[in-house]
Structure 1
Amino acid sequence: MYFDIAQLTCDIDRRRILSATDVRPRSVKDIAKACHLSLSRCYRLIKEMEESAIIRRAGVDKREAMYISNLRSVEMSLEDDRLSLSVVFRDGTEDRKDFTPQDLERGTIRNIPQELLSGEPSREPSTAA
């Protein structure tokens, strides 16, 4: 999960989807239009985000699935050589993870792929306008 949340900071398309679904549920067509994405890319990103519990299906309206962000806030901070990631979900639950310099250097953090720690950019093409 931490990789998925951290990946949001690097991918403008995912951030736009979260923004578009922050206040009220929206259909994929509405989200794609608001985010200037193709429908296929929007469906793919929403599916990935839904699998990671970052976004959730809020119901069906006129045969279209409606989606809403599952996140209330995400905060990443760096203090005294410690990286902290705090996530507050829409239901009020909070999750926090702190990483030491040794965690980052050794790549011993579970659930975070090594390519994120090495600083390599996302290989996913952006369709941002």
Structure 2
Amino acid sequence: MKVDRWEHLLAEAIDTARGKPFVWGVHDCPTFAFETHMILTGGDDIAALWRGRYTTALGGQRVMRRLGWVSLEDMGCALLGAPHPSVLLAGRGDLVLADTGLGFGICTGRAAVGMAPEGLVSVPLTSCRLAWSV
């Protein structure tokens, strides 16, 4: 369930992310997506499980395995439950998992945004393979 003014909070989170550099374990794809999830729902800081615990992609994979997840899909399902039956059912603010270099991101309508090494990127929603309701 989203908090009041979630649309404003979503826009703010995206604007803030746009101005921050990509940093593994601090401001990367899962950290951005799950921190935005927390902002939109007023829920727990799930990203605290891995924030600051790795500095490379390989280190992120190791932390993920230590937490019991084999893949990003496993991570998403463990933390968010079953995904939508179709990614095309995702609504603004929902978490997505993209097939193209983005990893976890946030649905903005027909696109998704997320952190990549080159900074905040946008990909078409059709390039995402899974989505979870927020």
TM-score (norm 1): 0.26
TM-score, scaled to structure 2: 0.25
| Structure richer in strand, relative to its length | 1
The structure with more helix, counted as a fraction of residues: 2
Q: Is the radius of gyration larger for structure 1 or structure 2?
A: 1
